[in-house]
């Protein structure tokens, strides 16, 4: 890799093109937050250019991220493929890689990798897929939750197509970055021999002030994301009626709740849909219990790590707690049925000392293991190793 250079102190510097289906500015969702921290980590040592396949304010993003940001809005096309973009979109990616003299490309998620057509041909420079190749798991879970047999069949077919695509992507990538050991094992099973690094999601613990238990139950999440919306619809239908009738408000912070959740809130006045909340500190301060009733999706939920950093007692499903190295009963409470979930929330609402103990343990865990700088350190090492002159590919 002739373009690799060393800085003044002999530190290896790699020119990296970051290709992402979403512009990570403003950083107002889990994927955007992770990507913003990935950029912040890599730019300390390497030269970065970001290519967004989503239109947005590239100049503002460039100022916020501290790197050059370009746009090439993706153009998709209909077809049977799991992800299908036009040749013009793929050409824009590799043209930008050539113009920026990239030594490596960082492809965000399955869509970013598929847009680069990594499943069809191996590029001239190392390609790393971050937080991808496991989206089929979300589709398979959605199929199991489908309300009709026809929708379930359609969902299983979609999951199969995505898994086939992701297997091809993993086999051609120089490395895949997983957000948990569980997802790393899944990728290795799909593509034996694939190099897999683990760089978990984290939290800016220093920016989150822990507070004692408040007087409400809280959920935070982007509700346009189907698994988040399903989680709160399930909570409203199945869990909330099992909570004490004179119980606290249920605060839901997140945009685009959809008509079903809005109808449920209209029938249950204490279910309060707050919409997008730019400053979450006041709603976290009000929370006695944070609920994470996920039944689908994948990855490590940033909303749960943030609630733990805020010192909140958390009740989560097993799926919602995936990827976090926690001890059930000490760091969070795990419950997977409406009855056990409601019982766990009710118990914490009346047992303030236990809620405080759980919150302190949760905060200690994220401080010890889930600070962004520690979580993303493997990325820096990965690119340094890919960039070593003479490395065989």
pLDDT in tens, 341-362: 999 999 999 999 999 999 999 9
- Other Cβ atoms closer than 10 A to 361: 18
Q: Tokens at residue 269, please? A: 């006045």
5-199+376-386 and 205-369 share one fold:
yes
Give residue-wise pLDDT tens across range 73-99: 988 766 556 677 888 999 999 999 999
Rounded to an integer, the average pLDDT of 67-72 is: 96
How far, in Å, CA of 329 to CA of 379, rounded? 32
Instruction: State the pLDDT confidence band at 284, using cuts at 50, 70 and 90.
Output: very high
Mean pLDDT value across residues 354-380 = 95
Spatial distance between the Cα atoms of 177 and 38, rounded to a whole number of angstroms: 11
Q: Say what percent of the chain tops pLDDT 70.
A: 94
Cα 53 to Cα 5, 63, 96, 189, 211, distances in angstroms: 28, 18, 12, 30, 39
Between CA 203 and CA 183 the distance in angstroms is: 19
Q: Which CATH superfamily is domain 205-369 in?
A: Glycogen Phosphorylase B; (3.40.50.2000)
Q: 257-286: b or e for each residue (b if 16 or more CB lie within 10 Å)?
A: beeebeebbeeeebbebeeebeebeebbbb
* Interval 208-235 mean pLDDT: 95
The domain ranges of the chain are 5-199+376-386, 205-369
Give the pLDDT score at 263.
97
pLDDT of residue 133: 87
Q: Give the side-chain half-sphere CA count within 13 A for 223.
A: 22
Instruction: Please report the pLDDT score of residue 86 as a whole number.
Output: 85
**What DSSP string runs through 224-236?**
TSHHHHHHHHHII
pLDDT at 387 (0 to 100):
57
CA angle 385, 389, 393 (to 5 degrees): 70
Joined together, the tokens standing for residue 8 give 């003044």
Specify the higher pLDDT residue, 82 or 160.
160
Q: Which pLDDT score, from 0 to 100, does residue 389 have?
A: 41
pLDDT band at 10 (very low <50, low <70, confident <90, very high): very low
**What is the structure's pLDDT at 84?**
78
Kindly indicate the confidence band of residue 37, based on its pLDDT and cuts at 50, 70 and 90: very high
d(CA 324, CA 181): 10
pLDDT bin (cut points 50, 70, 90) of residue 393 is very low
Q: Point out which residues pair with 272 in neighbouring strands.
A: 251
What does pLDDT average to over the chain? 91
pLDDT value at residue 13? 84
The pLDDT score that the predictor gives to residue 391 is 36
Compute CA distances 204 → 23, 56, 207, 366, 372, whole Å: 20, 25, 6, 9, 6
227-257 tens-digit pLDDT? 999 999 999 999 999 999 888 999 999 999 9
pLDDT classification of 22: cutoffs 50, 70, 90: very high
CATH code for the domain defined by 5-199+376-386: 3.40.50.2000
């Amino acid at each position: 890799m002739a373009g690799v250079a060393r800085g003044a102190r002999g530190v290896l510097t790699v020119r990296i093109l970051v290709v992402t289906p979403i512009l990570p500015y403003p950083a107002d969702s889990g994927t955007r937050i992770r990507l913003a921290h990935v950029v912040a980590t890599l730019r300390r040592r390497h030269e970065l250019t970001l290519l967004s396949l989503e239109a947005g304010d590239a100049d503002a993003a460039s100022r916020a991220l501290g790197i050059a940001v370009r746009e090439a809005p993706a153009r998709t096309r209909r077809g049977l493929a799991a992800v299908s973009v036009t040749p013009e979109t793929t050409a824009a990616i590799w043209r930008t890689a050539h113009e920026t003299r990239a030594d490596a490309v960082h492809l965000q998620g399955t869509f970013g990798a598929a847009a680069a057509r990594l499943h069809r041909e191996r590029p001239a420079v190392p390609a790393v897929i971050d937080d991808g190749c496991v989206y089929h798991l979300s589709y398979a879970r959605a199929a199991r939750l489908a309300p009709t047999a026809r929708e379930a069949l359609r969902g299983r077919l979609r999951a199969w197509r995505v898994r086939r695509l992701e297997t091809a992507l993993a086999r051609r990538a120089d490395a895949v970055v997983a957000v948990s050991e569980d997802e790393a094992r899944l990728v290795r099973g799909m593509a034996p021999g694939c190099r897999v690094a683990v760089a978990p999601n984290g939290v800016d613990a220093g920016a989150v002030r822990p507070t004692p238990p408040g007087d409400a139950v809280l959920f935070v999440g982007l509700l346009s994301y189907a698994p988040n919306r399903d989680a709160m619809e399930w909570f409203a239908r199945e869990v909330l009626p099992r909570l004490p009738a004179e119980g606290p408000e249920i605060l839901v912070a997140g945009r685009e709740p959809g008509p079903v959740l809005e109808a449920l809130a209209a029938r249950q006045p204490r279910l309060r849909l707050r919409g997008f909340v730019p400053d979450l500190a006041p709603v976290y301060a009000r929370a006695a219990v944070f609920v994470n009733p996920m039944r689908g999706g994948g990855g490590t939920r940033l909303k749960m790590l943030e609630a733990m950093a805020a010192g909140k007692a958390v009740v989560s499903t097993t799926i919602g707690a995936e990827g976090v190295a926690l001890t059930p009963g000490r760091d969070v409470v795990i419950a997977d049925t409406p009855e056990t979930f409601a019982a766990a929330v009710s118990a914490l609402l009346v047992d303030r000392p236990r809620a405080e103990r759980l919150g302190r343990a949760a905060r200690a865990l994220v401080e010890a293991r889930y600070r962004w700088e520690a979580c993303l350190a493997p990325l820096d090492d990965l690119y340094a190793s890919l960039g070593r002159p003479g490395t065989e590919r």
